[in-house]
Structure 1
Amino acid sequence: MTGAPQQAGEPSAVPLLAVFALMLNAFVWGVSWWPFRQLQSFGLHPLWATALIYGLAVAVIALRWPQAPGQLLRTPVLWVLVLASGTTNAAFNWAVTIGDVVRVVLLFYLMPLWTVLLARLLLHERLTRWALFRVLLALAGAAIVLKPTGAGWPLPSGLADFLGIAGGFSFALNNVMLRRESRRPPEGRALSMFLGGVLVAGGLALALTAAGGVAWPPTPEPSWLLPLAMLSLAFLAANLALQYGASRLRANVTSVVMLTEIVFASVSAVLLGDQVLSPQMLVGGACILAAALLSALEPGPSHP
């Protein structure tokens, strides 16, 4: 859910290849729940796994762009990105490991709802009728997804639900802050986002381990170190693909293509897990997906 420094590119240079690059990123994130669950079966909690995976990315960025740490230290606002991105990755990776994959991903993609509110608060964007419609549509979808089979209010139930919602909110904050701080050097922003995965996930892992709620990482063995290294490389490749595609396509096209993550997550959950897509989940998911699509297809933000 994070990215490396972007390079400038022509929006229409190689659109097909750019679309495939974005779909690679969406695929990696859409199926990431499975390797995280495999690592957990070796005794490695998803918080520890996230911290280790992003630690490798931080090392790569610091070596490739040695000026990035100084940019981060000199720019206090970038620490908001550290917190937002770190919370996004810690919450999402933990949620898809312990919860219903499709349900978690759908709740995560309530992001357009949070983006509308945060853009109004932080960017002073006008709250248009279309924006309000998207908010209501996303809320309706969430209510359908969360509605219990019996009587009761459509409220989050269980840790995975809350983590999915928190991850989507923090991802919206991450994106709004990236837009707000778009003139900052890209390598500093990239380091901020990857470092967040280390600090937030690692900090939570340490706190929960000290409290007895999470086990320490197992003794280093090839059985889990090799999959961990492969997952690290997959995330690095996915983020390079994201930057390649995003630098060559319009932002609204990028947003639409990235929604294929929901498809990859749903299909992989059915094929690799025991997920059954109920009519309730499909209807609620359609509302959330429609709200996200409307958000992506809107021409641009309106300012007062």
Structure 2
Amino acid sequence: MSAVLPRTTSVWPALALVVNAFVWGTSWWAFRQLEARGLHPLWATVLIYGMAVAVILLLRPRALRQLLHTPALWVLVLASGTTNAAFNWAVTIGDVVRVVLLFYLMPLWAVLLARALLNEPLTRLAGVRVLIALAGAAIVLWPAERSGWDALPLPRSLPDWLGVIGGFSFALNNVMLRREAHRPEEGRALAMFAGGMGVAGVLALGLASAGTAPWLPAPQPAWLAGVFALAVLFLFGNMALQYGAARLPANVTSVVMLTEILFASVSALLLGGGSLTAQLLAGGALILLAALMSTLGSAPDASH
């Protein structure tokens, strides 16, 4: 990297991006600790993003008016909210390595959404990326010892579905950020954090009412401290992302952000949050290849 940019201008921004990737890549452990203390990951997401919304409104109160009067930002609310609710829930209850790999099918969805929403052409390279990502997903999802329709490589568990849905909504989030890049930054930031709070809140209320998830527990110092610490880390990680992405080329930013996969996988293997099989390794290699190919001339992705 130093061969492309002067060392003084590339090292600190790159480290800032790595910090953001580390925060998100290891956040699964924090969510599992909160769940062990009685706080469902959806309720944790509501509280964490609620704190971020409060900070934005305190520092940039005009952001609320921008959000209320800009219908396009509500698509961003839904996309960002679904991304965070799905990802945080999935890594809490599923195999972290598998979930993160399925989540990073995002470049596949981004190609299709960019065509539909931004009128970007479907190039030959984009088509190759789609095929590679699909092949990787098929390997990851291929069920062992099944035949007939049961042998189709489709998501079969809640964590699998959440990983795929989270990746799709993350792609939609990034495409909408590019389409609405002319909007004031505080309005877009509020939309993303409000979505994280709102979508998780609706899901948590619905599941709790149906009896399939617990209600928000009574405040306890153990999980309150954890929520506050995680909110601070997420805000710090987002600041690091903005700092790094503003000072590095878009393709460099995208490559560095892929270290989230590394942090998530290594931490899961060390802390018992996931396993690595030959099947996952082969499929994951293809998914990662497709993601790396998407960095050629790409715009920087947003934090989820």
Instruction: Mark yes or no: TM-score above 0.5.
Output: yes
Is this contact kept in 1: 2:254–2:298, CA < 8 A?
no
- The 1-side partners of 2:6 and 2:38 are apart by 44
Q: Tell me, what secondary structure is at the counterpart of 2:295?
A: helix
Structure 2: runs of 5 or more not aligned: 300-304
SS at match of 2:274: coil
- Of the three residues 61, 68, 77, the one matched with 2:72 is 77
Q: Indicate conservation of the 8 Å contact 2:95/2:273, yes or no.
A: no
| Contact 2:250–2:297 (8 Å) recurs in 1 | no
- Number of residue-to-residue matches in the alignment: 291
Contact 2:39 2:217 in 1 (8 A): yes
Offset at residue 153 of structure 1 (A)? 1.6
Say if 2:83 and 2:165, in contact at 8 Å, map to a contact too.
Answer: yes
| Corresponding residue of 2:220 | 221
Shift of 1:27: 0.5
1:5 alignment partner in structure 2: none
3-state SS in 2 of match to 1:297: coil
- What is the rounded CA distance, in whole Å, between the counterparts of 1:173 and 1:295 in structure 2? 15
Structure 1 residue 275, shift from structure 2 partner: 2.7
1:193 aligns with 2:192: yes
TM-score (norm 1): 0.93
| Residue 53 of structure 1, aligned match among 48, 54, 61 | 48
Percent identical: 68
Code of the residue aligned with 1:182 in structure 2: it is A
Residues 41-120 of structure 1: pairs in structure 2 closer than 5 A: 41-120=36-115
Q: Give 1:13 shift.
A: 6.4
Query: For the aligned residues, what is the CA RMSD?
Result: 1.4
Aligned partner letter, 1:132: G
Does residue 131 of the first structure (1) align with residue 137 of the second (2)?
Answer: no
1:146-295 pair list within 5 angstroms: 146-151=141-146, 152-273=151-272, 275-295=274-294
* Alpha-carbon separation, structure 1, partners of 2:185 and 2:33: 33
Q: How far apart in 1 are the matches of 2:218 and 2:64?
A: 31
Deviation of the 1:251 alpha carbon: 1.0
Counterparts in 2 of 1:219 and 1:299: CA distance versus 1, 3 Å: closer
Q: How much does 1:12 deviate?
A: 8.4
8 Å contact kept, 2:42–2:85: yes
Q: 1:26 maps to which residue? A: 21
How far does residue 298 in structure 1 lie from its aligned partner after superposition?
Answer: 3.7
Q: Extract unaligned runs of 5+ from structure 1.
A: 1-9
Distance 1:11 1:86, change over 3 A: farther
**Is the Cα contact below 8 Å between 2:13 and 2:245 reproduced in 1?**
yes
Structure 2 distance, partners of 1:54, 1:274, is 24
